[in-house]
Structure 1
Amino acid sequence: MPVKRVVEEVKPKYIQIAERDADRIGKKIWMNEGSGKIKNLTVWNRGENFASLGIGHFIWYPAGKEKSFKETFPELIVFLQEQGVDIPTWLQKTPPWKSYTAFKRDEQSADMKELRTMLVNTIPEQVQFIIRRLEQALPKMLESLPTEAQRTLVREQFYRVAQQSAGVYALIDYVNFKGEGTSPRERYQGQGWGLLQVLENMRGSDNVMAEFAQSAEFVLKRRIKNAPPARNESRWLPGWKNRIKTYTAQL
């Protein structure tokens, strides 16, 4: 997969990938998020107050709901419009579902089928959207750190991962999976679980991707330990670990 290498700083659009590679990465992310099933492109998980849409399960909150996690689906819609994708009018407004029950009731509606068709047909564009998030992630992560030593560590680990054969996939998948790690709202007991925290926990072993995967697992286990017991986040750990294993496999 062709990658324009980073020299000193992350510049806009420094990651360049062919459409066929974007399609392959997208299908791998889709497998991670939704087992590669079309029905899993439109999901509302029980116990959550938002819909999860697309290969990256981009979050879409109904109007008036507290946004504990970063909302990304409206940003995806704007990005797809910029790419010339014809977006149904109803997707340019607030979600038509106010609850899990309303969403489930609407799953087989014409609008929902239209949404799934659009999402199936825009896999490479969704990957490019995730790449844009990655391109914006490093500057945001560095700005959030108080010392030069911390910034140097995170910068070096980011570059080390990005230069591995599966590194770009791992970075964009994780930043889509658990975010940049810079939002103060995305914390349990003061500790985050995003890409920033994964890179901070790395120390520079020779096996870069194995270390990245081990660090990701550590951060996610810590999240589960710190989470409110009522959320029962340990139920997600087996799936999270399976996802992390893909970071050490050939793309």
Structure 2
Amino acid sequence: MSRFRSLFSLLALAAVLTVFGCSQSKPNVDLSLSDKQLDWVASKIFQNECSGEVDCLVHWNEGEAFPSLGIGHFIWYPKGVDEPYAESFPALVKFMKAESVDMPDWLAKMSPLDAPWPDRDSFLNQQSGPQIEFLRWFLDETKHVQAEFMYSRAQESLSKILDATPEDQRDAMRQRIDNLRNTAGGVYALIDYVNFKGEGLKASEAYDGQGWGLRQVLERMGEVDKRTALARFRQAAADVLTQRAENAPRAIERDKWLAGWLNRVETYKEVGPSPG
């Protein structure tokens, strides 16, 4: 990792810890990526979420009560919407402010930071208007900053997961994380999944008491070594997502979304640029 990347990562991490209301101590999990690797991870996540299409950078999925924005499809709740999924777009905006990123005035000054469209129909009626078009352009121009946000968020999320793990299980959990974080493919899987389905630490992020976040995937892996870790993570993610769809109160998760989720986790393989 370059000296610039190391310095920038520490600064970005301090900013994101402030965003999430945590102390600014260094997290106890370190993910190391070169510039080339981080760009590769960002392009993979953009492909997963948007098939590389700029129009998808500001999008509202059918069957959802909120829009999704950016290369990571960060969730943004309208006023009054309360869903069991972790909202992430406001945290991205705060991260960008901490990094002194120029952004649209209306977005920078918005308080409270609620999505300006109350429902999907309202969004669709305005999706070709200047506000949404400019927002798409802005998110296209700031893909690297979004990647830095996801990179720092993943490190903090892994630290939170370790802290929430019972002490007698913590060494095994750390071993699974270590086996994944030592390869580019494993780091990509960790960053993508926590951005995709959250940490799995909130009781609200569960159906029938069964969560679907990164914590649940790591727990389901069981004992692994470096050689088998990524394949086991891929299978555990597929199992957790299938369980979620089966428990879901809405048929759309089983009938429409699950196939795409499973295709996504199949990309968690050891490919991409070599370290350095």
Task: Normalising by structure 2, report the TM-score.
Answer: 0.83
1:76-95 deviations in whole A, cap 9, x for unaligned? 01111222211112223232
Alignment match, 2:146: 126
Alignment match, 1:23: 39
Alignment match, 2:20: none
The sequence identity of aligned pairs, in percent, is: 41
1:81-114 deviations in whole A, cap 9, x for unaligned? 2222111122232322100001111111111111
SS of equivalent to 1:222: helix
Task: State the one-letter code of the partner of 1:73.
Answer: F
Alignment match, 1:159: 178
**Any stretches of 5+ residues in structure 2 without a counterpart?**
7-25
1:49-60 mapped onto 2 (5 Å cutoff)? 49-60=65-76
Task: State the one-letter code of the partner of 2:137.
Answer: T
Q: State the shift of 1:25 in Å.
A: 1.5
Q: State the shift of 1:191 in Å.
A: 0.7
Task: State the one-letter code of the partner of 2:268.
Answer: Y
Given that 2:218 and 2:233 are in contact with CA atoms closer than 8 Å, whether structure 1 keeps it comes out as yes
Provide the rounded CA distance (Å) in 2 between the counterparts of 1:189 and 1:13: 31
Provide the rounded CA distance (Å) in 1 between the counterparts of 2:125 and 2:98: 32
Alignment match, 2:10: none
2:99 to 68, 83, 87: 83
Q: State the shift of 1:234 in Å.
A: 3.7
Task: State the one-letter code of the partner of 1:74.
Answer: P
Q: State the shift of 1:168 in Å.
A: 1.0
1:222 aligns with 2:251: no
Q: Are the structure 2 counterparts of residues 213 and 129 from structure 1 closer, same or farther at C-alpha, using a change threshold of 3 Å?
A: same
1:122-201 mapped onto 2 (5 Å cutoff)? 122-145=142-165, 147-201=166-220
Provide the rounded CA distance (Å) in 2 between the counterparts of 1:82 and 1:229: 38
More relative contact order, 1 or 2 (CA 8 Å, 6+ apart) = 2
Provide the rounded CA distance (Å) in 2 between the counterparts of 1:126 and 1:13: 20
Q: State the shift of 1:189 in Å.
A: 0.5
Alignment match, 1:211: 232
1:46-99 deviations in whole A, cap 9, x for unaligned? 221111000110011111111321111011011112222111122232322100
Alignment match, 2:23: none
Given that 1:174 and 1:195 are in contact with CA atoms closer than 8 Å, whether structure 2 keeps it comes out as yes
Provide the rounded CA distance (Å) in 1 between the counterparts of 2:193 and 2:119: 27
**Count of aligned positions:** 246
Which segments of structure 1 move beyond 4 Å, counting only runs of 4 or more?
A: 1-4
1:149-179 deviations in whole A, cap 9, x for unaligned? 3222221111111012311111100110111
Provide the rounded CA distance (Å) in 2 between the counterparts of 1:63 and 1:141: 29
Coordinate RMSD, CA, aligned: 2.2
Given that 1:19 and 1:124 are in contact with CA atoms closer than 8 Å, whether structure 2 keeps it comes out as no
Q: State the shift of 1:231 in Å.
A: 4.4
Alignment match, 2:136: 116
Task: Normalising by structure 1, report the TM-score.
Answer: 0.90
Given that 2:186 and 2:270 are in contact with CA atoms closer than 8 Å, whether structure 1 keeps it comes out as no
Provide the rounded CA distance (Å) in 1 between the counterparts of 2:255 and 2:59: 20
Q: State the shift of 1:12 in Å.
A: 6.9
1:239 aligns with 2:260: yes
Q: State the shift of 1:207 in Å.
A: 1.6
